[in-house]
Structure 1
Amino acid sequence: MDIDAWWGIIGQARAAVGDRADDRDSPDDPLPGALVDVLAVLEPADIIDFYVKHIEVTDAAERYPLMWASFLIEGSVSGDGFMDFRDGLALLGRETFSRAVADPDSLADLPVVVRMSRDEGGWIGFEALSLPITDAYRRVRGETDTLRAAVEAAIDGMTRPERPGGGTWDPEDDDAMRLHLPRLAALFLD
């Protein structure tokens, strides 16, 4: 599966839920279910390819500046927390994702981020994009063992980042955050 097809599937799921596509905080968040529905019309091999491409996409966002942006926005960061943030960021669509990887401070433009800065609700992170993918595969095949085995085999052949790339700084240093992420710092620190 090429990157355009991958982002096209994300776009189809986002289009299906309309204006509810940008916030993962809702208890009845419709986007994961819409993604399952879009994926479940594919062949099992295509769902496997989607899963593997998901790993490649989120690995591309394994960057310290984006990690520190997630620290400001979501209040803490751990390995799992940053993975959830990148999964949720992917669900925001190609344009938002690409812009955020290139310039994490651009996340200050998102209405959900502004609401979060005001403690008015909202959330970007999504715990395990693998879950709707697995649900779609189960719907198509009635099992997930073959999915798991295929993804593990694909991951074994991938070169994955050992640690985040990009320049880093101390995320607990407010002055450094203001220097590197001025717009986000203005929302969350000032």
Structure 2
Amino acid sequence: MDINEFWEIIELGKDSEEPEDNLRINLEKLTPEEIVSFKTHFDYFFDRAYTWNLWGAAYIIGGGCSDDGFIDFRYGLISQGRVVYSNAIENPESLAELGEDLEIENELYGYVADEVYEEKTGKEISISAVPDNEDSMGEEWDFDDEEENIKRFPKLMALYW
């Protein structure tokens, strides 16, 4: 499975109320090898979204964002599809374009590939570890610093703060 095929599967369910259900239906059509490939791509994009800027945006949107909350945010960000994901990676402020009722967090979305693989094979999915992104997270700041947040994300602050 290449990156375009990965995003095609994501796109199939991105507009539903329960994108994890649509993802499950589409992954159930795949072979175990294809699910492993999907999960490898998923983990890559999940890790790539581990930046201070995105965490800051998630903090503003959610009125706070713990470690676990940021995991769920990144799962949900992937579920929004390639364009929203790519725009948010480039500029988290782009999330303001999605409106003030934005709810991105989706814990369940992150587990679907693992569950479908295990149901098909009776085994846990095993993939190579994704490289750690900690060195490329960007500049950390205090997410409670309103002035700094306004400077970094004026649109998000206007919508959510």
1:109-144 CA deviation, whole Å, 9 max, x = no partner?
A: 103xx125xxxxxx2101143321123223433x23
Check if 1:82 corresponds to 2:82: no
- Where do 1:61-100 residues align within 5 Å? 61-100=49-88
Give the structure-1-normalised TM-score: 0.78
Partner of 1:25: none
Give the number of aligned pairs: 161
> What letter corresponds to residue 91 of structure 1 in structure 2?
S
Distance in 2 (CA, whole Å) between partners of 1:174 and 1:53 is 35
- Where do 1:151-190 residues align within 5 Å? 151=127, 154-155=128-129, 158-162=130-134, 165-189=137-161
> What letter corresponds to residue 140 of structure 2 in structure 1?
T
Check if 1:9 corresponds to 2:23: no
Flag structure 1 segments of 5+ consecutive residues without an equivalent.
Answer: 15-19, 22-28, 117-122
Match of 2:106 among 122, 126, 133: 126
Check if 1:59 corresponds to 2:47: yes
Does the 8 A contact of 2:63 with 2:160 survive in 1? no
Check if 1:109 corresponds to 2:109: no
Does the 8 A contact of 1:68 with 1:171 survive in 2? yes
Distance in 1 (CA, whole Å) between partners of 2:60 and 2:135 is 20
Moved over 3 A (4+): none
Distance in 2 (CA, whole Å) between partners of 1:57 and 1:101 is 10
Partner of 2:123: 144
Give the structure-2-normalised TM-score: 0.91
Q: Which stretch shows the higher mean deviation, 63-72 or 132-141?
A: 132-141
Question: Identity rate of aligned residues, in percent?
Answer: 30
Query: What is the deviation of 1:9?
Result: 0.9
